[in-house]
Amino acid sequence: MADTVLVLNSGSSSLKYQLMQPDTGISLASGLVERIGEETSTVTLKWGNEETSRDGRIADHEAALRTTFDLFAESGRHLDDLGLVAVGHRVVHGGQALYRPTIVDDAVVTTLKELAALAPLHNPPAVLGIEVARRVLPDLPHIAVFDTAFFHDLPSAAATYAMDRELAQRWDIRRYGFHGTSHQYVSQQAAQFLDAPIESLNQIVLHLGNGASASAIAGGRPVDTSMGFTPMEGLVMGTRSGDIDPGVLIYLWRTAGMSVEEIETMLNRHSGMYGLGGEIDFRVVHERIESGDEAAQLAYEVYIHRLRKYVGAYLAVLGHTDVVTFTAGVGENDARVRRDALTGLAPLGIELDEHLNDSPARGARRISADKSPTTVLVIPTNEELAIAQACLTVV
């Protein structure tokens, strides 16, 4: 049996899991436990084409993991027979010190807890997931794979905020970048698709999901990325604002009387597409625009404007780009967003083929015109596979 890695992505009230075979790229099973701790939780398990789901109260993350394994057993699969060699944990923030895939021991857990302040919304649930999984599966190595890893060596010009240098050093303030696992995976896949050595390519990767980020990659190494100290900077996202003048936050605190917590919630959960138009799903956004909804129209225009700005900025950072790649939920599925992001850029060497862009094809594909000097690709991201592969590098 091929080696299998259980990949866990633990949120505050959810646990996403996938059983991946890193060598073959095969996903044996995947699923989600939702609404942990609420009155009714739902566990889903997808095994090949079979899908099972169960509702009931699940008190905490440990119960969530145990229930998932019960569901495996009921469908006739036992963990011991799956060739499990490791558990991979997606961790958003590794701070300055942690960036390589790291085997988790007690000291690493302590360090991760200390990092909570850097990513208060994301890191604590990940640490919880790690602690629970170490209890439930004590005989397997647990490996933390960091969303910040790929961007650890960003050039200092891109990683540094122009602020008081000593203060930044004292508080570890820099641009860390996130979605690194996806940007790295997708840029490698783009090179493979083009049958070109990654060292020979300048790339722009646009990861457009609920969270969204852009990166500029030269020869396989990132030279800039849109997320910074937190995953709030950069592009307009589902519920996050992306770039905003920090003066707005000071004004809201001092003059509008909002607390730090209220401002944080507003920026993370009530901004972006949701804050502007009340909707994060782009399928619905398009429907609303077609029915004359002005708020949805404005949200979409702000989203596209920001995206185009980043594409232009990264073209300038790179000098030229060989390939622009769209990935994640919006990037992989929304032909209108891709068209509106790149339309009119022929003088900069980027020209879409409308027919290829509109095709409902899935999988890695080219969507640029033959004559376009820059190739435009759509490549499905696969963060779980990348995490599983990262785990194998250390076990």
Give residues 234-253 in contact with ligand AMP (rule: CB under 6 A): 238
Minimum CB–partner distance for residue 184 and ligand AMP (Å): 16
Looking at the Cβ atoms of 11 and 95, the one nearer to ligand AMP is 11
With binding defined as CB under 6 A, does residue 334 bind ligand AMP?
yes
Task: Single out the segment in contact with ligand AMP by CB under 6 A; choices: 98-106, 161-169, 330-338, 386-394.
Answer: 330-338
Neighbours of 257 (CB within 10 A): 8
Which residue type does 331 have?
Answer: G
What residue number has its CB nearest to ligand AMP?
329
Which one of residues 115, 150, 329, 379 is an interface residue with ligand AMP (CB under 6 A)? Answer: 329
Q: Yes or no: say if 267 and 238 are a contact pair by the CB < 8 Å rule.
A: no
Task: Single out the segment in contact with ligand AMP by CB under 6 A; choices: 6-14, 75-83, 116-124, 281-289.
Answer: 281-289
With binding defined as CB under 6 A, does residue 282 bind ligand AMP?
yes
Nearest to 29 by CA among 39, 43, 11, 14: 43
**What is the rounded CA–CA span in Å between residue 43 and residue 79?**
17
Residue spans of beta strands (DSSP E) within 22-163? 26-34, 41-47, 50-56, 84-91, 102-103, 142-146
Minimum CB–partner distance for residue 162 and ligand AMP (Å): 31
Strands laid side by side in the 202-208 sheet: 221-225, 212-218, 202-208, 323-327, 375-378, 365-366
With binding defined as CB under 6 A, does residue 324 bind ligand AMP?
no
Looking at the Cβ atoms of 89 and 207, the one nearer to ligand AMP is 207
Which one of residues 113, 135, 165, 283 is an interface residue with ligand AMP (CB under 6 A)? Answer: 283
**What is the rounded CA–CA span in Å between residue 294 and residue 289?**
7
Which one of residues 20, 87, 276, 330 is an interface residue with ligand AMP (CB under 6 A)? Answer: 330
Looking at the Cβ atoms of 67 and 327, the one nearer to ligand AMP is 327
Residue spans of beta strands (DSSP E) within the chain? 4-10, 15-21, 26-34, 41-47, 50-56, 84-91, 102-103, 142-146, 202-208, 212-218, 221-225, 323-327, 365-366, 375-378
Neighbours of 55 (CB within 10 A): 11
With binding defined as CB under 6 A, does residue 31 bind ligand AMP?
no
Check if 147 is active-site: yes
DSSP 121: T
Task: Single out the segment in contact with ligand AMP by CB under 6 A; choices: 75-83, 247-255, 324-332, 354-362.
Answer: 324-332
Give residues 134-193 in contact with ligand AMP (rule: CB under 6 A): none
Q: 74 is written with which tokens?
A: 């009921």
Q: 250 is written with which tokens?
A: 């000071």
Helix (H, G, I), strand (E, B), or coil: what is residue 265? Answer: helix
Task: Single out the segment in contact with ligand AMP by CB under 6 A; choices: 150-158, 160-168, 300-308, 322-330.
Answer: 322-330
Which one of residues 160, 297, 333, 343 is an interface residue with ligand AMP (CB under 6 A)? Answer: 333
**What is the rounded CA–CA span in Å between residue 332 and residue 363?**
9
Three state DSSP letters for 319-387: CCCCEEEEEHHHHHHCHHHHHHHHCCCHHHCECECHHHHHCCCCCCEECECCCCCEEEEECCCCHHHHH
Looking at the Cβ atoms of 252 and 302, the one nearer to ligand AMP is 302
Determine which one of 3, 147, 224, 334 is catalytic. Answer: 147
Which residue type does 82 have?
Answer: L
Which one of residues 209, 278, 349, 373 is an interface residue with ligand AMP (CB under 6 A)? Answer: 209
Which one of residues 210, 265, 297, 343 is an interface residue with ligand AMP (CB under 6 A)? Answer: 210
List contacts with ligand AMP (CB under 6 A).
Answer: 209-210, 238, 280-283, 328-330, 333-334
Annotated binding site for substrate: 90
Q: Catalytic positions, please? A: 147
Annotated binding site for ATP: 16, 207-211, 281-283, 329-333
